[in-house]
Amino acid sequence: MKRLLILEDGTIFEGQAFGSSEESIGEVVFNTGMTGYQETLSDPSYCGQIVTMTYPLIGNYGINKDDFETINPAIFGFVVKEYCETPSNFRSDESLDTFLKANDIPGIAGIDTRKLTKILRKHGTMRGILTKANENISVEEGLSKLKNKEPLTDQVARVSTMKPYVAPGRGYRIVLVDFGMKHGILRELTKRDCHVTVVPYNYSADNILRLKPDGIMLTNGPGNPKNVPESIEMIKKVIPSIPTFGICLGHQLLALACGANTDKLKFGHRGSNHPVYDFETKRAYLTSQNHGYAVTEDSIKSTELELTQVALNDKTVEGVKHSKYPAFSVQYHPEASPGPDDTNYLFDKFIDTITTFKATLKEEA
């Protein structure tokens, strides 16, 4: 069955439909990871986006029960060169195609994904429409559908938890503010025996403080950080008194809460091979990234934030820390999944920050 992908500049790709046969409109982005499509598919940060995988063979090792980053995938569409119908791996439970069908995610295969990637790189991220399977519509029709559909602004609300819940442990009490959390973040905290209370993105500062957390984790999430102003206000109130660690959207929100600014990148960073230079350790690390927005470097200067890390290649802000409060954040994903675990030590650093902070409090007391 045929299907079209029409971009807002009028570029049209014809390929084969797989997954759900429904239509979908979203922001078309590309991811350069050669493995990890299951984690990508289930990363809530992709809410509202149609993701193109630059690696041409996707689905080779199937879909398994272990590697999900969320229960209900939020991705709007999946673009591949070729999907594998006969996956092979000891953990494989089903094929990519059946998984996408079961989760109502439309996919398109058999298109020149490298051409698409180059278009996105040159023109910047664009919106696009994946047409219904076997539906023959003209470019004009597709473009008008695109135009008539307002871009999303409520992605965080769509993917954040509705109610607080607890992942119990015997260690530090962490409040994890869920903007679209990947399971990996929770896993890293529980691995360190933390008692994690996951709260919705719009949970108030007072309610958070009432939980008496030792630390606050601001997670990743989809979309523009400026779409969740209430969270920014919350962060302003909690960081003076509670050690805070932000990841991805959480990092952008921390920066906004401290008075810095964020902006949209031309085509974003999505993949498992992004080198980041850390000014503190004077070393570079390979990181897993997925962000379309970034903190602007100039805007940091007038704040109490310090730049700690930058992307080696394009100097995008990748990490900041607060000069007074025990708060720090990174733009990338130290929890990996998918991607390298080079920066996994940041979770230890978070635990150490809490320990040090508690010791200081004790001394002051």
Q: Which residues are catalytic?
A: 248, 333, 335
Q: For strands 215-218 and 173-178, give the pairing.
A: parallel
Kindly tell me which residue out of 340, 355, 357, 358 binds other proteins, with binding defined by CB under 8 A: 340
H-run or E-run covering 305: strand 305-311
Nearer to other proteins, 64 or 261 (CB): 64
Q: Is 223 annotated as a binding residue?
A: yes
| Contact range with other proteins by CB under 8 A, out of 111-119, 180-188, 200-208, 239-247 | 111-119
Residue 32 engages other proteins in binding (rule: CB under 8 A): yes
How far is the C-alpha of 337 from the C-alpha of 38, rounded, in Å? 9
Distance CA 281, CA 249 (A): 24
Yes or no: say if 6 and 12 are a contact pair by the CB < 8 Å rule. Answer: yes
**Are the beta carbons of 100 and 20 closer than 8 angstroms?**
yes
252 annotated as belonging to a binding site for a ligand: yes
Cis amide bond preceding 87, omega within 30: no
126 binds other proteins (CB under 8 A): no
Closest approach, Cβ 284 to other proteins, in A, equals 4
Looking at residue 299, its amino acid is S
Q: Is 22 in the site for other proteins (CB under 8 A)?
A: no
DSSP conformational letter for 133: T
Smaller CB separation from other proteins, 60 or 202: 60
Helix axes 183-191, 345-364, angle to 10 degrees: 60
The amino acid present at 233, given as its one-letter code, is: E
Does residue 93 interact with other proteins by CB under 8 A? no
Cα 246–Cα 279–Cα 243 angle in degrees, nearest 5: 30
Each residue 196-215 as x (binds other proteins by CB under 8 A) or -, in order, gives: --------------------
Binding residues for L-glutamine: 45, 221, 223, 249, 252, 290, 292-293
The residues of the shown chain that bind other proteins, judged by CB under 8 A, are 30, 32-36, 38-39, 54-57, 60-61, 64, 66-67, 81-82, 84, 86-91, 111-115, 117-118, 121, 271-273, 275, 277, 282-284, 286, 312-313, 336-341
